Amino acid sequence: MIYELRTYTLKPTRMADWLKLYKAEALAVQQEHLGQLVGFFTTEFGTANQVVHLWAFSSLDDRDARRARMAADSRWQEFGRKNKELDAVVQLESRVLRPTDFSPLA
């Protein structure tokens, strides 16, 4: 099992708008294509205006195939258009993580 940790840094005052758009237009599409959402968070302390989500995949190949299918979905493309129009995202960071053998998520 591998995990993808994605962190979006948003423009100040745009968090509510982005979350509303994501929940309405992207969440169901991602859940359909990516599968196992482990968690979805906003930062309370530390770097402000961040959304962090964690997805589980059986392997890197599984992740790549699922993300490719999602990218081809017209609903995801429409979200991308609206996301660009909203202009709330400043930065995206994506990390692929492997749990240790003693991790509860192993």
55-68 tens-digit pLDDT: 999 999 999 999 99
Query: Which tens digit of pLDDT belongs to each residue from 71-106?
Result: 999 999 999 999 999 999 999 999 999 999 999 998
User: Domain spans of the chain?
Assistant: 2-97
* Strands, E assignment, the chain: 2-10, 36-42, 50-57, 89-97
Query: How far is 39 from 56, CA to CA, in rounded Å?
Result: 10
Q: Which pair of tokens denotes residue 89?
A: 């995202």
Query: How far is 2 from 105, CA to CA, in rounded Å?
Result: 9
In this predicted structure, what is the pLDDT of residue 67? 98
In this predicted structure, what is the pLDDT of residue 19? 98
Could you please state the CATH topology (level 3) that the domain comprising 2-97 is classified under.
Alpha-Beta Plaits (3.30.70)
Helix axes 27-34, 15-25, angle to 10 degrees: 50
Query: Which tens digit of pLDDT belongs to each residue from 23-53?
Result: 999 999 999 999 999 999 999 999 999 999 9
In this predicted structure, what is the pLDDT of residue 102? 96
